[in-house]
Chains A and B, each alone.
Chain A
Amino acid sequence: MNAIAPIARSRRLGKVHVATVTLSHGGGGKAMKDLIDDVFVSAFDNAALAPLEDQARFDLAALAAHGDRLAFTTDSFVVDPLFFPGGDIGTLAVCGTVNDLAVGGAKPLYLSCAVIIEEGVSLDLLRRVSASMARTAREAGVTIVTGDTKVVPKGACDKLFITTAGVGVIGKGVELGVHLARSGDVVLVNGLLGDHGAAILCARGDMALDTPIESDCAPLNGLIHAILAAAPGVRFMRDATRGGIATVLNEIADASGVAIDIDEAATPLREEVKGFCEILGLDPLYLANEGKIVVICPPAEAAAALATMQAHPLGARAAMIGRVTEQGEAGRVTLQTVFGGRRIVDMLVGEQLPRIC
């Protein structure tokens, strides 16, 4: 990347020759340096990381070439299980932070990666995770430039926790805000909803349900860039992660002081996810996504935004699912049911729990 000062000089990377991580790998000595080299530096492979300075350094002028504001975000990842159909904690850790930058209109550039490892975790597991972080970062066009590694005693964390932070630059004139939705705007999503939440619940295995559902985990910066180019008037975007689209829509309705009305029949859902929710008594509108965004778009640009989304590989099943309306109570999200009735879609109080009967 152009903003990284070329201060790297080649040095021999350390290697770990044991199968599992022990507390000695967190002690600050050679064992720790070998672990960092073997697992992270070799996978992430870039000039800013290799010298192992305490910080990554950027050239301000090069950053400014992308726009006029910095965007900065952070997120922690504690998913259980670490590996699931469609991804793993590594892909999530990169996608989550990339997407949090991108939905604000920023071009994501640099990520940090801090890991907390429970002693006893295998080196192979760590190498698999760092390889998928590296692969996802390449896909998203970002560089992992700094990091931290801690090893904690057994039981002090669950196998592996990752925190990533990200820096991006927002282009001139891009002004997105959760408070900007206006009556008449349309609500778009870029595809099938609830896949990630359903895939994770299935992968935990305690439901004994065998489904082909895979996580939708993906970096969305490319798609978002295309949407903003086609529909520069877009008011707001947010990735519908924990709490699903129901939560995002409530946040928008609340912050903008508007009502939002959703059409259940237009909401794209996979048959398997519908079936999964039926069996467990869950509502797919509240299931987590890791590759889905809600887009609030003025009506004049709706067709262009939707066509752009549908032309992108990560938006093939994009749909217009509802509208911001004047009718209805401000701050409320309502749903026209497939059956012809209407109900409120509120924020969840806690976690969605399966119903007894």
Chain B
Amino acid sequence: MKYLDEFRDGAKARVLTKEIETLVASMEIPARRPLQIMEVCGGHTHSIFRYGLEGMLPAAIELVHGPGCPVCVLPMGRIDDCVSIAERPEVILTTFGDAMRVPGSRMSLLQARAAGADVRMVYSPMDALALARANPDREVVFFGLGFETTMPSTALTILQAESEGVGNFSVFCNHITIVPTIKAILDSPDLQLDGFLGPGHVSMVIGAAPYEFIARHYRKPMVVAGFEPLDILQSIWMVVRQIKEGRAEVENQYARIVPYDGNEPALKAVARVYELREFFEWRGLGSIDHSGVKLRDGYAAFDAERKFSVPNIKIADPKACQCGEVLKGVIKPWQCKVFGTACTPETPLGALMVSSEGACAAYIQYGGARPRVAAA
């Protein structure tokens, strides 16, 4: 496939992995403290596992799979709220496919559908708006979730609904923002990370500029990376080179897609429709200040939370769950007490087991690198 196969070229990969090995060999990296590089984005985690990248890297580099799977980090309470909206007889609840399986404390949307709720899978919020037009006697609610990647399409759909005067369309808004989340990880006392792969799709919207604080204040290198396996290898090489040269900068490997200052029309739509929440609850990470958005008062008519007065349930993460430590790279997935036992893809306890982009689910599904401790 054109424009994809070029980025999956095995011969080029061998050249790059050799370069990374040479680079690492020229540095002094203690065996018990490998370089830890976090890929923030779940899309990267998926590519890393799908192409078996971990096994291609030298042992001195360890990838830490970050919090960037928006499906995984949804707290149970928000799912419960969403289920309670879906259970209203007048509601058609529309959602992206992979949010269907996320467990709430009572049930998932998939189970709610089986129990009689009208839950439908859509591929875009515009599909949900089309459903609202076609079903004027029903209330169509879109389960809006995702980082800045999907935020503009939800915003533009709301603006479209407003201009058309569609009164039976609303959004249950669970959009979250990446920068406060990275900051929360950087501020955590047990942090060990040496560098970051920046999220490509989010950056396509917000640009690379908002990450400058990571380089300036926290002195950590960040490379905004594309999603094809060669993109990821090249970005890892760029991070390691920064570490070797003692630099901490924001570099843009994904310049073919990501403009430094972001996408202006998308950012305008986002600013027009949403405002920051004081805080938002994350599965695995707890509450993070200013990490989520809600609809501005001017768009209250399209806000499902206000339209249906959701119960706003708060459910604490299961105690045994160590997602937070895995997310911060303190432990690897298989070192979690409940990994593969109480917490499996069939019955996920923690965020990272929920979607195929979650690190723990990916380890179970794709195997990933063997635990180095066990191999020694």
Contact = CB atoms under 8 A, between A and B. Distances in A.
A356 B8 CA distance: 22
Contacts of A289: none
A357 interface: yes
A278 interface: yes
Given A207-B123, A343-B367, A346-B366, 12 more contacts: A271-B1, A339-B9, A340-B52, A341-B51, A341-B53, A341-B229, A344-B367, A353-B97, A353-B121, A354-B96, A356-B98, A357-B150
Contacts of B365: 344, 346
A65 interface: no
A345 B98 CA distance: 19
Among A339, A343, A345, A349, find the residue whose CB has the most chain B CB atoms closer than 10 A: A339
B52 A343 contact: yes
A42 B357 CA distance: 53
Contact of B364 (A280, A346, A356): A346
A339 B51 contact: yes
Interface residues of A, number: 30
A18 interface: no
8 contacts: A207-B123, A208-B123, A341-B229, A342-B52, A343-B49, A355-B357, A356-B70, A356-B145
B29 to A, nearest CB: 22
Contacts of B13: 339-340
Interface string B96-115: 11111100000000100000
B18 to A, nearest CB: 12
A354 B145 CA distance: 14
Contacts of B1: 271, 274-275, 278
Nearest to B100: A353
Given A353-B97, A354-B98, A356-B98, A334 B367 contact: yes
Interface string B1-38: 10010001110011001000000000000000000000
A206 interface: yes
Given A337-B50, A344-B367, A356 B150 contact: yes
Contacts of B110: 350
A339 B96 contact: no
Interface of B: 1, 4, 8-10, 13-14, 17, 42-43, 46, 49-56, 70-71, 96-101, 110, 121-123, 127, 145-147, 149-150, 201, 229-230, 345-346, 355-357, 364-368
Contacts, number: 101
A335 B368 CA distance: 12
B366 A344 contact: yes
Contacts of B100: 353
A341 B97 contact: no
B4 A278 contact: yes
A340 B366 contact: no
A212 to B, nearest CB: 15
B34 to A, nearest CB: 19
A344 B51 CA distance: 10
A338 interface: yes
A356 B96 contact: yes
A357 B4 contact: no
Interface string A244-284: 00000000000000000000000000010011001011010
A156 B96 CA distance: 28
Contacts of B357: 355
Contacts of A355: 46, 97-98, 355-357
A224 to B, nearest CB: 32
A275 to B, nearest CB: 6
Given A340-B14, A346-B365, A353 B101 contact: yes
B146 A357 contact: yes
B156 to A, nearest CB: 16
Interface string A317-357: 00000000000000010110111111111100110011111
Contacts of B229: 337, 339, 341
Contact of A354 (B8, B70, B97, B149): B97
Q: What are the 4 closest A-B residue pairs judged by CB atoms, nearest first?
A: A341-B52, A344-B367, A353-B97, A354-B97
Nearest to A334: B367
Interface in A259-315: 271, 274-275, 278, 280-281, 283
